[in-house]
Amino acid sequence: MKKAISLLLTLVLAAGSFALPTFAAEDKIQVTEDISVSADYDWTRFKGQGVSLNVYNWGLYISDGSDESVDVISAFEELTGIDINYTTFDTNESMYAKLKSGGAVYDVILPSDYMLGKMANEGMLLPLNKENIPNLAGISELYLDKEYDPGNVYSVPYMWCMVGITYNKDMVDEADLEQGWNLLWDPRYTGQILQFNNSRDCFAMALKTLGRSMNPTSTQDIDDALVKLQEQKPLVQAYVMDEVFDKMEGGEAALAPYYTGDGLTMIAENPSLGMFIPEEGTLQCVDAMCIPASSQNQEAAEMFINYMCEVDVALQNALFVQYTSPVEAVRELLPAELRDSELMYPDPALIERSEYPSVISDELNSAMDMAWSQMKSFDDTGNQWLVPVFLLVAIAMTVFNVWRRRARKKRRQMY
Amino acid sequence: MKKQHLAALQKVYLCLIFSFLYVPIAVMMVFSFNESKSRTLFTGFTLKWYKSLLHNEMILEALWLSLVVAFLAATVATILGVMASIGISGMKKRTQGVINTVSYLPVVNPEIITGVSLMMLFVVYVNVAHWLNSNPSVPGFLKFLPENIFGFGTLLIAHITFCVPYVIFNVAPKLRRMDVRMYEAALDLGCNPRQAFFKVVLPELMPAILSAFLISLTYSIDDFIISYFSCGTLQTLPIAIYSMTRKKVSPEINALSTIMFVAILCIILVSNALESRSYRKKRIKE
């Protein structure tokens, strides 16, 4: 049944797209071989004014010309005459710290959902002037007006993905996939499970198996999830983030929850891998473009955001990053295996059942941090004695050394 | 018999130590020629990462920034450090000790403290400048301080700051071992103090100054933490590499590291060859 629906949807989308290129081709400005932008926008109003934009994005998260991709940044510079100073960060938290400390002024940043909500609450973002971002109209309804930014006052989504479970087809019985998230608690896969090294995602999964919302709402939720995670710990081979690529591609583990976009990358490297999204629903994540309150070039920054939502640009980025682009027209232009992928474009009903990480209170956040470190240090083997024993040995050696030196000194004095 | 065993053991130990030092680099070099992005499987030989490195503007810009900052910071720090050590050597023994300890502190201080405190200093400066520039009751001639300083300037100041102590600790011992009578003799033979400094003291110190310069250069290229807090919206090479780790370290980084390793190896080999040649020449002359 669901297959039939998705087939129907694909057909409808495909039918819609037949009309698109014909009228689009006329009013386009060709910037490079691969990139044309709509002519119905004043791209050149900052030309020759020496405007430069500081863009702060995740590492390896834009089509930058490496690995035979198209360089979308230099195409923007060529088109508009605006100079882009493009730099990258590795976590939401380090980006937040950098902005909060006042150590740098950025014009465009790309935080994830929950961090975006937090920054908006703290007044760190500028409301967007949507007249300067007409391409907002091309973004699918599925990704707009979400709880992290109601009405998209501050943000335009850039990339979207879900949390799914990667599995090795040679090691996992496909019938077991029915279990959904509980598969990660299945003792038959002891020592073959990789888990996120990140508290938010781990607690979300534990809460889901308890039948609750993936966002903790009370300290009771956190306590219960902690029990669940401690129960899982003996089954887990390691808590990892990007090491998951090597471990799964090298066949060192059987199961690993991770982001769908990255799952596609892993499957491309090693065809014996697969990925599925548990039917009961999952976390969805979005990275969105915003303008920090300290920016001095709001209009130019909005032009950059509008450019990033151009179909050709979004397509190149989607091809490079392999995450889902919220720009609707991109889907039809992707190669068939991505266009029809259940991972890149999951069933809308499944998206409906899924949640975004919400902004949680500081109190819950610190309770979760505490529980997380408690879980990580929770260990029923002898390892917990290693550190004190090591310390004792070190102290004993120091004492012995001091004693020997003193004895030698005494002996010398005797003669 | 026993001696033989011991010798074998020594060799094994030596091999072990050197493999710890060099196997990781060898692995990295091998994987810079890997066809796929994988860090575990070697799928085939390729030079494409070297080719795409030449087109990756972000990495190249970061490399360029790192090199420029390192060169400028090392030069300025060397000049400052040499002046400081000459000044210190002219002080009383007691003050010398105090000054040496004070300048040693930044070296043993955790880098993160240096980084954060430098950043806070810059932020305070920005706030003061902003207040001065925007307050109507401040007279106009005081409104000259630039507000937007985070960037190249702050990065350079930070790098000079942490390089100077290393220069002092390279040059000061050499200065202490130098014979003061050489300088006095130069004065006696008709040099003025400036000539005596440039003709006698400076050449004597040159090896120490050179090594101080090289150490500053490497520390500056190497530094991550202090740069991280003071670079504003710029990006040095270590910061660029670090921020890539969210997904995977691109094999381009392996290629870049291989090139840097080979370049440094060449410099060392050439300088050693030159040194041994001049040594041999000297011996022939004698």
Mean pLDDT of B138-160: 87
CA atoms within 13 A on the CB side of B2: 0
- What is the structure's pLDDT at A299? 95
Give the angle A129-A132-A138 at the CA atoms, nearest 5°. 105
Question: To the nearest whole angstrom, how far is the Cα of B101 from the nearest Cα of chain A?
Answer: 26
| Average confidence score pLDDT of chain B | 88
Each residue's pLDDT, cut to its tens digit, for chain A (415 residues) gives 555 555 555 555 555 444 444 444 558 899 998 999 999 999 999 999 999 999 999 988 899 877 778 899 999 999 999 999 998 888 898 899 889 888 788 999 999 999 999 999 999 999 999 999 999 999 999 999 999 999 999 999 999 999 999 999 999 998 999 999 999 999 999 999 999 988 899 999 999 999 999 999 999 999 999 999 999 999 999 998 888 888 898 888 999 999 999 999 889 888 999 999 999 999 999 999 999 999 999 999 999 999 999 999 999 999 988 899 999 999 999 999 899 999 999 999 999 999 999 988 889 999 999 999 888 887 655 566 778 888 999 999 999 999 999 999 888 887 7
In chain B, the percentage of residues whose pLDDT exceeds 90 is: 46
pLDDT value at B2 more than 90: no
- What is the structure's pLDDT at B248? 62
Out of B39, B232, B243, name the one closest to residue A104 (CB).
B232
- What is the structure's pLDDT at B106? 87
> For A309-385, where are the alpha helices, taking DSSP H only?
311-321, 330-333, 336-339, 348-353, 362-377
Q: Is B213 part of the contact surface with chain A (CB cutoff 8 Å)?
A: no
Q: Is B41 part of the contact surface with chain A (CB cutoff 8 Å)?
A: yes
Chain B residues touching A103 at Cβ < 8 A:
119, 122-123, 150, 229-230, 232
Q: Which helix H or strand E contains A3, and what residues bound it? A: helix A2-24
CA distance A133 to A202: 36
Contact (Cβ atoms closer than 8 angstroms) between residue A375 and residue A226: yes
Type of residue found at B85: S
Chain B residues touching A269 at Cβ < 8 A:
36-38
Interchain contact, A106 vs B233, CB within 8 Å: yes
CA distance A327 to A311: 7
Out of A71, A90, A104, name the one closest to residue B243 (CB).
A90
Tens digit of pLDDT for each residue in B257-267? 898 889 888 88
Chain B residues touching A115 at Cβ < 8 A:
none
- What is the structure's pLDDT at B37? 74
Interchain contact, A103 vs B232, CB within 8 Å: yes
Question: To the nearest whole angstrom, how far is the Cα of A346 from the nearest Cα of chain B?
Answer: 22
Pick among 3.40.50.300, 1.10.150.310, 1.10.3720.10, 2.170.270.10: CATH of B58-285: 1.10.3720.10
Q: Is A24-154+289-334 assigned to CATH 3.40.190.10?
A: yes
Beta bridge mates, A89 = A58
Q: Which helix H or strand E contains A288, and what residues bound it? A: strand A284-289
Q: Is A189 part of the contact surface with chain B (CB cutoff 8 Å)?
A: no
Question: To the nearest whole angstrom, how far is the Cα of B55 from the nearest Cα of chain A?
Answer: 7
Note the pTM of the prediction, 2 decimals: 0.82
Interchain contact, B41 vs A101, CB within 8 Å: no
Q: Is B125 part of the contact surface with chain A (CB cutoff 8 Å)?
A: no
CA distance A124 to B210: 48
Cα distances (Å, whole numbers) of residue B60 to A41, B37, B236, B247, B256: 32, 20, 10, 20, 9
CA distance A112 to A63: 19
Nearest residue of chain A to residue B62 (CA atoms): A87
CA distance A277 to A260: 8
Interchain contact, B57 vs A242, CB within 8 Å: no
Q: Which one of A63, A67, A159, A249 would you mutate to disrupt binding with B, by most B Cβ within 10 Å of its Cβ? A: A67
Contact (Cβ atoms closer than 8 angstroms) between residue A259 and residue A322: no
Q: Is A161-283+362-377 assigned to CATH 2.60.40.10?
A: no
- What is the structure's pLDDT at B64? 94
pLDDT value at B96 more than 60: yes
Q: Is B174 part of the contact surface with chain A (CB cutoff 8 Å)?
A: no
Interchain contact, A85 vs B233, CB within 8 Å: yes
The ipTM of this complex is 0.77
How long a stretch of residues is chain B?
286
Interchain contact, A269 vs B37, CB within 8 Å: yes
Nearest to A44 by CA among A27, A58, A29: A29
CA atoms within 13 A on the CB side of A410: 6
- What is the structure's pLDDT at B252? 83
Out of B38, B126, B250, name the one closest to residue A269 (CB).
B38
- What is the structure's pLDDT at B135? 85
Interchain contact, A66 vs B250, CB within 8 Å: yes
Nearest residue of chain A to residue B150 (CA atoms): A104
pLDDT value at B269 more than 60: yes
Question: To the nearest whole angstrom, how far is the Cα of A52 from the nearest Cα of chain B?
Answer: 12
Q: Is B245 part of the contact surface with chain A (CB cutoff 8 Å)?
A: yes
Q: Which one of B243, B253, B254 would you mutate to disrupt binding with A, by most A Cβ within 10 Å of its Cβ? A: B243
CA distance B216 to B208: 12
Q: Is A59 part of the contact surface with chain B (CB cutoff 8 Å)?
A: yes
Type of residue found at A94: S
Interchain contact, B150 vs A104, CB within 8 Å: yes
The full set of domain ranges for chain B reads 58-285
Report the SS3 class of residue A327. Answer: strand
Token output for A294: 């300290």
CA distance B106 to B163: 10
- What is the structure's pLDDT at A383? 63
For chain B, the DSSP string reads: -HHHHHHHHHHHHHHHHHHHHHHHHHHHHHHTTBSSS-SS----B--HHHHHHTT-HHHHHHHHHHHHHHHHHHHHHHHHHHHHHHHHHTS-HHHHHHHHHHHHHHHHS-HHHHHHHHHHHHHHHHHHHHHHHH-TTS-GGGTT--S--TTHHHHHHHHHHHHHHHHHHHHHHHHHHS-HHHHHHHHHTT--HHHHIIIIIHHHHHHHHHHHHHHHHHHHHH--HHHHHH-TT---HHHHHHHGGGS---HHHHHHHHHHHHHHHHHHHHHHHHHHHHHHHHHHH-
* A-B contacts at Cβ under 8 angstroms: 99
CA distance B283 to A49: 65
Chain B residues touching A106 at Cβ < 8 A:
233
CA atoms within 13 A on the CB side of A413: 6
Beta bridge mates, A285 = A161
Question: To the nearest whole angstrom, how far is the Cα of B160 from the nearest Cα of chain A?
Answer: 19
Instruction: Write b or e for each residue in A125-153: b if 16 or more Cβ atoms lie within 10 A of its Cβ, otherwise e.
Output: bbebeeebbebbebbbebbeebebbeebe
Interchain contact, A90 vs B246, CB within 8 Å: yes
Out of B40, B52, B247, name the one closest to residue A246 (CB).
B40
Dihedral (C-alpha) B117, B121, B122, B126: value to the nearest 10 degrees? 140
Instruction: Write b or e for each residue in A344-358: b if 16 or more Cβ atoms lie within 10 A of its Cβ, otherwise e.
Output: bbbbeebbeebbbbe
